[in-house]
Amino acid sequence: MTTFSKTIKFPIINEAYEQPTGLFINNEYVAAKSGKTFKVTTPINEELLCELQEAGSEDVDYAVECASKAFKKWKFTKPEVRARLLYKVADLMDEKRDLLAKIESLDNGKSLVCAKFDVNLVVEYLRSCAGYCDKIDGRTINTGPEYLTYTKREPLGVCGAITPWNFPLLMFAWKIGPCLATGNTIVLKPASATPLSNLYAASLFKEAGFPDGVVNIIPGSGRACGSAILHHPKVKKVAFTGSTSVGKGVMKDAADSIKKVTLELGGKSPNIVFQDCDIEKTVQNLITGIFFNGGEVCCAGSRIYIQASDEEWYNEFLAKFKKAVEKIKVGNPFEEGVFQGAQTTPDQFQTVLDYVKIGKESHLKVLTGGNRIGKRGYFVEPTVFYDVPQSSRLTKEEIFGPVAVVLPFKSIEELIEKANDSEYGLASGIHTEDINKALYVADRLEAGSVWINTYNDLQQNSPFGGFKESGIGREMGAEALDNYTQIKLVRAKISTPTL
Question: Which residues are catalytic, by number?
Answer: 264
Amino acid letter for position 377? G
- The SS3 call for residue 208 is helix
Q: What is the pLDDT confidence band of residue 498, given thresholds at 50, 70 and 90?
A: confident
pLDDT at 470 over 70: yes
3-state SS class at 312: helix
pLDDT at 149 exceeding the cut of 70: yes
Coil vs helix vs strand at 207:
helix
User: What value does the CA radius of gyration of the chain take, rounded to a whole number of Å?
Assistant: 24
Q: What is the pLDDT of residue 499?
A: 86
pLDDT in tens, 351-407: 999 999 999 999 999 999 999 999 999 999 999 999 999 999 999 999 999 999 999
pLDDT for the residue 337: 97
CA distances from residue 447 to 260, 291, 425, 434 in whole angstroms, order as listed: 23, 20, 4, 20
Please give the pLDDT value at position 1. Answer: 45
DSSP letters, 191-205, are -TTS-HHHHHHHHHH
Residues 186, 67 contacting (CB under 8 angstroms): yes
Query: Across the chain, what does the average pLDDT equal?
Result: 97
Residue 3: the pLDDT is 82
pLDDT at 299: 98
What pTM value is reported for the model?
0.96
Query: b or e along 219-239 (b: 16 or more beta carbons within 10 Å of the residue's beta carbon)?
Result: bbebebbbbbbbbbeebbbbb
DSSP 483: T
pLDDT tens profile 266-288: 999 999 999 999 999 999 999 99
Q: Which domains does the chain have, with CATH numbers?
A: 5-265+473-487 (3.40.605.10), 270-460 (3.40.309.10)
Residue 497: predicted pLDDT: 86
pLDDT digits (tens, 9 = 90+) for 196-243: 999 999 999 999 999 999 999 999 999 999 999 999 999 999 999 999
Contacts 24+ apart (CB under 8 A), 473-482: 473/239, 473/261, 473/262, 473/263, 473/264, 474/262, 474/448, 475/174, 475/262, 475/264, 476/125, 476/128, 476/174, 478/132, 480/174, 480/177, 480/178, 481/132, 481/136, 481/153, 481/178, 481/181, 481/182
Report the distance separating Cα 125 and Cα 130, nearest Å.
9
pLDDT of residue 473: 96
Quick: pLDDT tens for 156-172: 999 999 999 999 999 99
